[in-house]
Amino acid sequence: MYFGELPVAEAEGAILAHSRRLEGRALKKGRVLDADDLAALNAAGIERIVCARLEENDIPEDKAADLLASACRGAQVRVGPAFTGRANLFAEADGIVLYDPERLDGFNLVDETITLGLVQPYQAVTQGQMIGTLKIIPFAVPESPVQIAEALASQGTPLLRVAPFQPLDTIMIQSRLPGTKESVLDSTLRVTTDRLDALGSTLISEARCDHDHASLTDALRRAVAADPKLILVSGASAVVDRRDVIPSAIESIGGTILHFGMPVDPGNLMLIGRIGKIPVIGMPGCARSPKLNGFDWALQRLCTGLDIEPRDIMRMGAGGLLKDVPHRPLPRASAKRTDKVPASRKPAASRSEIAAILLAAGQSSRMGPTNKLLSTLDGKPLVRWVAEAILASTAGRLIVVTGHEADKVSAALSDLDAEFVHNPQYALGMSTSVRAGFAALPDGTDAALVCLGDMPTITAQMLDAIIAAYDPVEGRAIVVPVHGGKRGNPILWDHRFFEEMQELDGDKGARGLLAEFAHLVAEVDAPDNAVHLDIDTPETLADAGGTLEKAE
């Protein structure tokens, strides 16, 4: 790849190395320069410009990122669309991340132009969470290192996979000494139940007994007879030796102690054994607390069906100092939902907290006496097409802003995983709905994708491409889809613009901000006209094959 200064007259088809702001327009880094761009540069009096030009056997950054991320992708891992040489990898299931760190090192040692960053091995992740990012550093990479890295990533089994949590029917035994408070045991029961629920497993029963050899032996025998997949023992007194009460009770009914102790604090005094095929964990005292501890690491592995050998536990010391780590065993997002969620719902992204605001408050005056959002396309209301596309994307939250005929719009979406916000000022223009949507965003939201309820042909894939392009650190704080040289919707806004969005007025939306912050706008190529097609009139609805809502 050539990289350096070129005369503007010779730069057509070259890749712009650094963003340039011109009168009335901005040329972004990475843009392939066309004749119009060169004319604008000439008009600005710029004679030479720093560019890159691909040579034979060079692979463009996005193509290389897609190729290598796909080669790394194993079971339960999804690759997002590449943008500016970056392809992110996401978990397709709640589980733990598995890869060989030495193999990852080998991949990253191939060439400085190819980089792959992953979360820690064995880290618990939730469905939709970003677990890795593959970044091609320059605008293109020679074919040779890409081929070597691809071979390393896919040799045998792919480099990266997620082991999903499997439901384990679990029995818990708690022992007590004179003076042990039942409230302490009740609290431990609640914390343990929550831990198992977060991992997709169930505590099917709990038993309490005295903390002595005979009582624990009897309780273990009855637990084994119930044939659970896992037995947890929380002792009134911590295990301090392999010959202590809990391990001796396990051995007395034919069980085996696999390992005692672990290089994780809190969690040092954990015991793992086995009775037949049933794993048994002697819980450390810290497991009474919901804070992350070594017991969580062992439990997470068992709940994915992985065997734990003594060597596995003894290698947990790297990162094993967990004292005062504030987070819980799994992010709150992993809590199992009890409300109805459509079967088509795909994972929510936790790469960052990206919300989608669906504007569904307008009066649709150009449609006549009917509400265009409730008109149907293939038997489905237009607003529902958009809502389902959002829920099938990697956006993490859907906020629907209602106004005109709010009850009907809400009813059309009532079974979807959406939050509804009513805008009583909807008649004053779209900006009032935008303000209502942004005001409803929870603290910690990183970005918001503003979607229009009358664009039924927008797809989850297009939304994912917009989300994938978002990276405020690299200057992509606003993301806009483009088709045929014309910008469309939806538009993604970084949190730095939330205040400005709540100060909008009238019915023009936020287009003025696009010009004001042109240097922070990233454009994403759209494959079709869906980013322009909004259903505003009976004619456009008929052209799309839809049917008007019957006016009452």
With a threshold of 0.85, does the pTM exceed it?
A: no
Choice between 463 and 518, residue whose per-residue pLDDT is larger: 463
Q: Kindly state which CATH superfamily the domain 58-164 is placed in.
A: Pyrimidine nucleoside phosphorylase-like, C-terminal domain (3.90.1170.30)
The reported pLDDT for the residue numbered 552 is 43
Per-residue pLDDT tens over the stretch 310-337: 999 999 999 999 876 544 444 433 333 3
Q: What is the pLDDT of residue 350?
A: 38
Burial 191-207 (b: 16+ CB within 10 A, else e): bbbbbbebbbbebeebb
Percent of the chain scored above 90 by pLDDT?
Answer: 73
Q: How far is CA 95 from CA 127, 202, 292, 314, in A?
A: 8, 16, 16, 22
Q: What is the pLDDT of residue 336?
A: 35
> What average pLDDT does range 419-438 have in this prediction?
92
Angstrom distances, CA of residue 60 to CA of 83, 323, 368, 549: 11, 45, 50, 48
Q: What residues does each domain of the chain span?
A: 2-47, 58-164, 169-326, 354-547
**505 — pLDDT class (breaks 50, 70, 90):** confident
Query: How does DSSP assign 410-471, residue by residue?
Result: HHHTTTSS-EEEE-TTGGG-HHHHHHHHHHTPPTT--EEEEEETT-TT--HHHHHHHHHH-B
Least confident of 184-193, 324-333, 462-471: 324-333
Please state, in angstroms and rounded to a whole number, the distance separating the CA atoms of residues 212 and 310: 27
User: Average of pLDDT values for 168-185?
Assistant: 95
Percent of the chain residues topping a pLDDT of 70: 90
Distance CA 290, CA 266 (A): 12
Q: Are 205 and 171 in contact (CB under 8 A)?
A: yes
- Specify whether the CB–CB gap between 34 and 12 falls below 8 A: yes
Tell me the average pLDDT across 522-548.
Answer: 75
CB 255 within 8 A of CB 271: no
For residue 332, the model assigns a pLDDT of 33
Q: According to the CATH classification, is domain 354-547 in 3.90.550.10?
A: yes
Q: Could you confirm whether domain 169-326 is CATH 3.30.390.10? A: no
pLDDT at 362: 83
* Four-residue CA torsion sign, 191, 197, 203, 204: positive
CA distance 339 to 502: 31
So what's the pLDDT on residue 272?
97
